[in-house]
Structure 1
Amino acid sequence: MSYVMRKLVIVLFSSLFSLSLCYADISLPTPQTKDGMSLLESLKKRASTPGGDFPVGNISDEDLSTILWAASGLNRGKTGWTVPMVHGVPPYVRIYVAGEKGVFLYEWEGHYLREISKKDIRADIGKQNFTKRAAYSLIFVPDLNALTQHPPEQANEFRHIAVGAMSQNIYLVAASLKLDARYIHSIKPEMIAEELKLPENSKPIGIMLLGK
């Protein structure tokens, strides 16, 4: 094989290898905003699925799309939020989605998933063994670039209140879609921060398991 041919082969394989490492965003289907279970019925059926009984079934892209749309709180177009937002500031808690295909950041403005890693970290992020059973784990992470005008303790309180409201939205929609959900606070923050490539001093607040 000539020198030129060898160089061409090397360039070709290098290009293919680089392409295999490229990250890819995922467009989400339009969330379901009509029909479904009534609010009062969803409240009645809302529950945390026991860890030992957590299912291992898959969740459709349509259901995941609806869950994330509900979690963000921007559920009335641009007229307001269904989760507490200080001074109308956009969500100051980011939602990461961990699943079989890797880790993604939910971009609420464009309603899509931005790939962070191709690694499946579901078995490593919680202190309970059953966390690996969930089809998806939603990881709540504070946006440290927001609420900087507030004292740190107050900003932290606002973030925890937002996570509480977001997780409640998820519980209600999960009940309506007949999905299983469970909020977990016993997590491994340092490991999660490393896998999500979070900025220094940024730590997750909790995770929500989703299954079917």
Structure 2
Amino acid sequence: MNTLTKMALGLLGQLKPEPAQGDAADTIVLPAANMSGGMPLMQALAQRQSQREFAPEPLPQQMLSNLLWAAAGLNRPALGGRTAPSALNAQEVDVYVALPNGLYRYAALGHALHLVRATDVRRITGYQDFVDNAPLDLIMVADFSRMKLVPVAQRMAYAYTCAGAMAQNVYLYCASEDLATVIRAWLDRDALAKAMGLGSEQQVLLSQTVGRKAPYPLLPTAEGNR
């Protein structure tokens, strides 16, 4: 679906998810993340970039496991510490995974995906057309009910800071594994929140598309690679 169609449907309140493709398991227990190897940090930083052409093939489960651990996994289990910082350790940002067969929430404790809705919400994760068919779209969602110790005026800034750190973790993992990714803030948040069944204290922050690079990437757009 092209951008103009999505925007028109959004104005009419008709931007909706599609039926799931195949069966959706209630829980997907991911294999243990591989925390060794990979590209050296400085080399990954040199390779970090946004790309907008994705092959449709799904990522192997081990790669999905590593990706999600990089984004927001437990790296200090005894302390409950994660790979991305969170003010006062509120852990207010959840990572959702939009797959063709359903919408899942990543649980760092247990390193598993839990089914939220058996629908395909990928096309609602952004106005760009490539989100519809990429293998997965990550959605960072703030849960302000976990931020009682943070002043109300500061909660959104804190949550975006945490989500930004998660997104950069994903960028570096993708650079290391030669995957394509792009972070996106241009989306219909109301339509996506409705499709995800979010509550009043939850807020969609950012989306990030991930997948293997398309065989023939397009030339950079006027927006350019970020």
TM-score, length-scaled by structure 2 = 0.78
Match of 1:93 in 2: 93
What is the Cα deviation at residue 28 of structure 1? Answer: 0.5
Give the Cα–Cα distance (whole angstroms) in 2 for the partners of residues 78 and 101 of structure 1.
Answer: 34
Give the Cα–Cα distance (whole angstroms) in 2 for the partners of residues 47 and 55 of structure 1.
Answer: 17
What is the Cα deviation at residue 181 of structure 1? Answer: 0.7
Q: Given residue 121 of structure 1, which amino acid in structure 2 is its aligned partner?
A: V
Structure 1 pair 23/31, CA: closer, same or farther in 2 (3 Å)?
closer
Q: Which runs of 5+ in 2 are unaligned?
A: 1-22, 213-226
Match of 1:41 in 2: 43
> Within the alignment, does 1:159 sit opposite 2:178 as a pair?
no
What is the Cα deviation at residue 23 of structure 1? Answer: 5.9
Match of 2:63 in 1: 63
Give the Cα–Cα distance (whole angstroms) in 1 for the partners of residues 116 and 60 of structure 2.
Answer: 21
Q: How does 1:189-204 map to 2 (within 5 A)?
A: 189-204=189-204
Q: Please report the RMSD computed on the Cα atoms of aligned residues, expressed in angstroms.
A: 2.0
> Within the alignment, does 1:135 sit opposite 2:135 as a pair?
yes
What is the Cα deviation at residue 84 of structure 1? Answer: 2.1
TM-score, length-scaled by structure 1 = 0.83
Give the Cα–Cα distance (whole angstroms) in 2 for the partners of residues 184 and 78 of structure 1.
Answer: 33
What is the Cα deviation at residue 208 of structure 1? Answer: 0.7
Q: Given residue 74 of structure 1, which amino acid in structure 2 is its aligned partner?
A: L
Q: Given residue 166 of structure 1, which amino acid in structure 2 is its aligned partner?
A: M
Match of 2:216 in 1: none
Give the Cα–Cα distance (whole angstroms) in 2 for the partners of residues 88 and 22 of structure 1.
Answer: 32
Match of 2:26 in 1: 24
Q: Given residue 140 of structure 2, which amino acid in structure 1 is its aligned partner?
A: F
Residue by residue, what CA displacement relative to the aligned partner does 1:63-122 show, whole Å, maximum 9, x if unpaired?
111111111153243354442222233x21001100111100111111100001111111
What is the Cα deviation at residue 199 of structure 1? Answer: 0.4
What is the Cα deviation at residue 149 of structure 1? Answer: 2.1
Please say which structure displays the higher CA radius of gyration.
Answer: 1
Give the Cα–Cα distance (whole angstroms) in 2 for the partners of residues 37 and 22 of structure 1.
Answer: 33
The answer to whether the Cα contact below 8 Å between 1:167 and 1:183 also exists between their aligned partners in 2 is yes
Match of 2:221 in 1: none
Q: Given residue 149 of structure 2, which amino acid in structure 1 is its aligned partner?
A: Q
Count matched residues: 190
Give the Cα–Cα distance (whole angstroms) in 2 for the partners of residues 160 and 133 of structure 1.
Answer: 26
Give the Cα–Cα distance (whole angstroms) in 2 for the partners of residues 108 and 184 of structure 1.
Answer: 23
- Higher strand content, 1 or 2: 2
- SS of 2:153's partner is helix
> Within the alignment, does 1:112 sit opposite 2:103 as a pair?
no
Match of 1:3 in 2: none
> Within the alignment, does 1:187 sit opposite 2:187 as a pair?
yes
What is the Cα deviation at residue 148 of structure 1? Answer: 1.4
The answer to whether the Cα contact below 8 Å between 1:99 and 1:137 also exists between their aligned partners in 2 is yes
Structure 1 pair 78/178, CA: closer, same or farther in 2 (3 Å)?
farther
Q: Given residue 88 of structure 1, which amino acid in structure 2 is its aligned partner?
A: N
- Higher helix content, 1 or 2: 1
Once the two structures are overlaid, the 10-residue window that deviates more, 95-104 or 141-150, is 141-150
